[in-house]
Structure 1
């Protein structure tokens, strides 16, 4: 590595680390404010907060890296331009692209590590974060009873203390007991009391002195019945035990969040996408199959068949499912074969469990032979076709044993010539009457409404499945786009710093915030389009990078020409030329 590369890279590393820490801290603060009311004030230990903050720092690092690269590149080349070091580099025959090379290689390596972090580290950290946040949310606030305020932290109890002598001694106590779920029917009043934890702070003992206990039975009585029972009990000392399990932090297992897309890497997301695609295709296939039965005007010669692409996907999915089922059956068979030898009764029981439907068909033939005196079972040749026909004949309510099934309906086989014309006219008059037409119209309208509701429900289900499918695709492509954003931000920040030639935290911070806001808005817009199905998910996730990449190329071209894009004198002279042109044109007129 040459001295120039060391100089430029060394001037970039320091601002990059500083800006990354600052940006990460800002994003951490913004992220923590969302959960401020849920995680603070619950008496958690210091290490719990350290663990949660460390999880947040790692999870927001993919968003902090592009902004840190943009700001540090602006500061680095702004300082080089402000101190005329960049001018000296160019005057020595070194082009701007050659000066950008060491930082460019560093950013490419950084983007590769950002991709690895997004794919492997961040999903595991998100899993830990979701689990810990859920545990903190389920934990009740710390036991802190204030004077003159009802405290509802203990489940099913509302406690008010008018005066506290210390953390243990309480004066003038009112307790509403809601354990019965009948409202404020049980009230306890006491002059004083002591609240002390015991048994490793798992329970709280409240000792009450010199008070009364009021209890009213809440019955919904009619007006003529006698009033509900009311009792008052005085006591000199009363002890109440409260469980403090709600105040402890119980850590749940990570398996509860196994279906969240934020905790999956690319391989797991692709597996879920394959499963979801097969589910969506199966849902559409059975919608086509079941829709035909909803229309009464469909006949045998008029079928509603699914499209070819749905049938092809269904065949592929069924073949994969059958292959997995065969593998499972082979594994079960091998496991059974590897078991210890069994006695005769156990082996017979196992064979009965492993019998297929062919064995039941054979038993059926044997029973029918014995009942109807048909040909002996030994003379029947059983194969797959005869078994299938036997199953169909058994499931058909109208069939003849070992005979042919008639395809004609009873109406078709009936002899209509025996019906008189007077009978036919009478039937026609019944069906053509006003009451029959009104009834038929009502039935048709209800059927149409039912079909419309069914179709709307099916459409909503398919839309929800497709939206979830697109969200998984967005989570897949974000692994790449967030890493590639570092390269895009470098291509914008480095040439822009060489153009403005201002270092420090003034102008670079302003331009960095502007471009980061634009990048964030374009990212949110593209992802929203992808979620709603307006555009393809791959285009929606890459939308921000595709929009800002030409901007970076433009700044790079202008920086190579030493253009004065942000020079006030340039725009002032341009304004004077435009003003002079219009003034001259007006004088000629």
Structure 2
């Protein structure tokens, strides 16, 4: 490999790594902003949050990688053009195509790696991410006792605290309602305390309330079964310790096998296997629909021998007019009953067919996504590299604006295409590849302009063109 190729690769690798991690950081912040209410205040260990952030970062690669390739390619060739290095390369007899040669190989390797990642690693990351996020969102909050609110976090208890100190552990004017062991009875125990201290046990399995200067009221049935009267017991205490079970507040993990049926958790082999099995179900459903409806179609609904011949005129709706009035009512009633029977037979099966068709389209969407990630890297590089050579600006100024604009075009078109595929308005092949189809000709056009030293973004060129057009119309008007 020539030194010029090594120079270009070194100029590309550094901004690519920097922009990739910047984009990943921004997407990770968006994830935290979205789920901050579901994660904060639930007593998670630090490694649970880190694990969730790691899996979230893996799922964001599909969006971060194409944007990083586009932005870094614009920055690389824009910096080379701004420092007149592209001019030196061309003056040495090396065309822009040859200057792009090492970058094309690098992006192709990157695209292959993206395909391997999306087929082998991304399904595992999605499975871990969505299962852990599901468990985290359904976890109970760790803020067990709030001020001036009846807290029902613990089953069988209702706790009210009038005031909490700044340390979050010292409580004042505590009221605890405790339901009796016999849930069928209306008995209830009530505890009042002027002050208390709240803390967790060393094994983190219990919440301990150490109450001071209080009174406790207990209601319970009499010990003699024949005596229906209840007993009221009043206890005064100087200090009382009460424990509450925290086992329900620990993160309980759901079996990951319950999430494996989602298409995001499947590789190409499993997606094709699901498609084949669903296709067989759809074919079997159509055959059964035909066998169910066929008996309702009567080709000879009129007796072979009639006392009065009936005249049928094709193309005119006068068949019923040839029948007596009572026969007309009977025929219409029988037709309505048979139509309702057909509708009832088909309605449920039609809904099932519609659901399976929707699932099949979603399956094909995930299947095509395995390939569009790699193709997007190539298409956006084909735009970014010549665009950087044309604008001749490096750094994080103009290249960022241009890169974000083209990436938004790619993202919006791909999102609309995916929606049309799921709605059944486009085939999966067209809908998922329409963004690549639109951007590839733009990349080829920009490559042609860059190879011919086009002044595509030169303002003076457009000013000259506008002046010529204005002068031409002014002359025509004067004549």
**148 and 455 in structure 1: CA distance in 2 versus 1, 3 angstrom threshold:** same
Instruction: Please tell me whether the aligned partners of residues 214 and 230 of structure 1 are also in contact (alpha carbons under 8 angstroms).
Output: no
What does residue 459 of structure 1 align with?
350
SS of residue matched to 1:151: coil
* Cα deviation 1:207-245 (Å, max 9, x = unaligned): 6563455989xxxxxxxxxxxx99975332577553212
Correspondence list, 1:213-292, <5 A: 213=217, 234-236=234-236, 241-292=243-294
What does residue 200 of structure 1 align with?
203
Structure 2 residue 411 is matched with structure 1 residue 494:
no
Tell me how far apart the structure 2 counterparts of residues 468 and 91 of structure 1 sit (CA, whole Å).
57
What does residue 527 of structure 1 align with?
418
* Cα deviation 1:117-171 (Å, max 9, x = unaligned): 0000111111111221122123211144233334343345442201235655532
Greater CA drift, 489-498 or 185-194: 185-194
**144 and 581 in structure 1: CA distance in 2 versus 1, 3 angstrom threshold:** same
Tell me how far apart the structure 2 counterparts of residues 558 and 197 of structure 1 sit (CA, whole Å).
70
What does residue 210 of structure 1 align with?
214
Structure 2 residue 171 is matched with structure 1 residue 170:
yes
**235 and 289 in structure 1: CA distance in 2 versus 1, 3 angstrom threshold:** farther
What does residue 545 of structure 1 align with?
436
What does residue 583 of structure 1 align with?
474
**558 and 483 in structure 1: CA distance in 2 versus 1, 3 angstrom threshold:** same
Tell me how far apart the structure 1 counterparts of residues 187 and 417 of structure 2 sit (CA, whole Å).
57
SS of residue matched to 1:556: helix
Per the TM alignment, residue 177 of structure 1 is displaced from its structure 2 partner at its CA by: 5.5
**445 and 76 in structure 1: CA distance in 2 versus 1, 3 angstrom threshold:** same
What does residue 41 of structure 1 align with?
41
Q: Of 448, 458, 466, which aligns to 2:339? A: 448
- For structure 2, the residue ranges without an aligned partner over 5 or more in a row are 221-228, 302-323
SS of residue matched to 1:161: strand
What does residue 102 of structure 2 align with?
102
Tell me how far apart the structure 2 counterparts of residues 550 and 115 of structure 1 sit (CA, whole Å).
23
Instruction: Please tell me whether the aligned partners of residues 529 and 540 of structure 1 are also in contact (alpha carbons under 8 angstroms).
Output: yes
Tell me how far apart the structure 2 counterparts of residues 556 and 267 of structure 1 sit (CA, whole Å).
37
Correspondence list, 1:393-432, <5 A: none
**433 and 551 in structure 1: CA distance in 2 versus 1, 3 angstrom threshold:** closer
Correspondence list, 1:51-450, <5 A: 51-155=51-155, 157-164=157-164, 168-176=169-177, 188-192=190-194, 193-198=196-201, 200-206=203-209, 210-211=214-215, 213=217, 234-236=234-236, 241-293=243-295, 295=296, 297=298, 444-450=335-341
Instruction: Please tell me whether the aligned partners of residues 386 and 447 of structure 2 are also in contact (alpha carbons under 8 angstroms).
Output: yes
* Cα deviation 1:342-363 (Å, max 9, x = unaligned): xxxxxxxxxxxxxxxxxxxxxx
* Cα deviation 1:148-198 (Å, max 9, x = unaligned): 33434334544220123565553222345679999x995735134454544
- Length-normalised TM-score, structure 2: 0.84
Query: Which of structures 1 and 2 has the bigger CA Rg?
Result: 1
Per the TM alignment, residue 577 of structure 1 is displaced from its structure 2 partner at its CA by: 1.6
Per the TM alignment, residue 501 of structure 1 is displaced from its structure 2 partner at its CA by: 0.6
SS of residue matched to 1:153: coil
* Cα deviation 1:436-469 (Å, max 9, x = unaligned): 9868756654553443344333222211101100
- Alignment RMSD (CA, Å): 3.2
What does residue 308 of structure 2 align with?
none
Instruction: Please tell me whether the aligned partners of residues 62 and 483 of structure 1 are also in contact (alpha carbons under 8 angstroms).
Output: no
SS of residue matched to 1:172: strand
**557 and 298 in structure 1: CA distance in 2 versus 1, 3 angstrom threshold:** same
What does residue 29 of structure 2 align with?
29
SS of residue matched to 2:162: strand
SS of residue matched to 2:154: coil
What does residue 304 of structure 2 align with?
none
Tell me how far apart the structure 1 counterparts of residues 202 and 403 of structure 2 sit (CA, whole Å).
57
Equivalent pairs, count: 445
SS of residue matched to 1:242: strand
Tell me how far apart the structure 2 counterparts of residues 481 and 442 of structure 1 sit (CA, whole Å).
56
Instruction: Please tell me whether the aligned partners of residues 293 and 342 of structure 2 are also in contact (alpha carbons under 8 angstroms).
Output: no
Instruction: Please tell me whether the aligned partners of residues 157 and 178 of structure 1 are also in contact (alpha carbons under 8 angstroms).
Output: yes
